[in-house]
Chain A
Amino acid sequence: MAAAPKTNTEPSYRDIDRSVLRVMEPAGRAYWAWVGFCFTLVGIAAGFWAHQIYSGLGVTGLRQPVMWAIYITNFVFWVGIAHSGTLISAILFLFRTKWRTAVYRAAETMTIFAVATAGLFPLIHLGRVWFFYWLLPYPNERYLQPDFRSPLVWDAFAVSTYLTISALFWTMGLIPDIANAREAATGWRKTFYTVLAMGWQGTDRQWRHYSMAYLLMAGLATPLVLSVHSVVSWDFAMAINPGWHSTIFAPYFVAGAIFSGVAMVITLLIPMRKLLGIEDLLTEWHFDNLAKVVLLTSLVVSYAYITEAFMTWYAGDPIEQTTFHMRYFGPWGWMYWVMVLCNCVIPLLLFSPRIRVNLRALWVITIFVNIGMWFERFVIIAGSLTANFEPSQWASYRPSLTEIMITVGSFAWFLGLFSLFSRFLPIISMTELKEGIVWLRKALKRDRVRAAA
Chain B
Amino acid sequence: MSTIAIISSFADDAQCAHAIEELRAAKVGDFNTFSPIPSHRIEHAIGLKKSPVRWIVLMGGISGVLTGLAITIGTTYEWRLNAGGKPLLSWPPFIIICFELMVLLGGIFGFLGVLGLSGIPAAEIAPGYDGRFGEDRFGVVVRCDEDEAARVESIMKDSGAEEVMREGV
Contact = CB atoms under 8 A, between A and B. Distances in A.
Contacts of A217: 107, 110-111
Given A143-B79, A227-B100, A203 B33 contact: yes
A148 B94 contact: yes
Contacts of A206: 118-120
Interface in B137-152: none
Interface string A196-211: 0011111111111111
B104 A137 contact: no
Interface stretch (B1-9, B21-29, B42-50, B159-167): B42-50
Given A149-B90, A157-B96, A200-B120, A168 B133 contact: no
Contacts of B39: 207
Given A147-B81, A157-B96, A164 B108 contact: yes
Contact of A13 (B36, B42, B99, B121): B36
A168 to B, nearest CB: 4
Given A144-B81, A149-B83, A201 B75 contact: no
Nearest to B140: A204
A161 B57 contact: no
Contacts of B126: 201, 203
Interface in B48-65: 48, 50-51, 53-54, 57, 61
A210 B118 contact: yes
**A: interface residue count bin:** 35 or more
A431 B83 contact: no
B142 to A, nearest CB: 13
Contacts of B154: none
A48 to B, nearest CB: 32
Interface string B85-101: 01000100110110111
Contact of B133 (A199, A201, A212, A431): A201
A145 B81 CA distance: 10
B33 A145 contact: no
Interface string A417-446: 000000000000001001100000000000
B107 A169 contact: yes
A22 B124 CA distance: 27
Contacts of A207: 35, 38-39, 43
A12 interface: yes
Nearest to B114: A213
A38 interface: no
A14 interface: yes
A224 interface: yes
Contacts of A223: 99, 103
B131 interface: yes
Interface of A: 12-14, 17, 137, 139, 143-151, 153-154, 157-158, 160-161, 164-165, 168-169, 171-172, 175-176, 179-180, 183-184, 198-213, 216-217, 220-221, 223-224, 227, 231, 431, 434-435
Interface of B: 32-39, 42-43, 46, 48, 50-51, 53-54, 57, 61, 71-72, 75-76, 78-79, 81, 83-84, 86, 90, 93-94, 96-97, 99-101, 103-104, 106-108, 110-111, 113-115, 117-126, 129, 131, 133-136
User: Which 10 pairs from chain A and chain B are nearest by CB?
Assistant: A199-B122, A13-B136, A183-B131, A145-B75, A212-B51, A198-B121, A213-B114, A206-B118, A207-B38, A161-B104
21 contacts: A13-B36, A144-B79, A147-B83, A149-B84, A149-B93, A154-B93, A154-B96, A158-B96, A172-B111, A180-B134, A204-B43, A205-B32, A209-B51, A212-B50, A212-B51, A212-B54, A220-B103, A223-B103, A227-B96, A231-B96, A431-B38
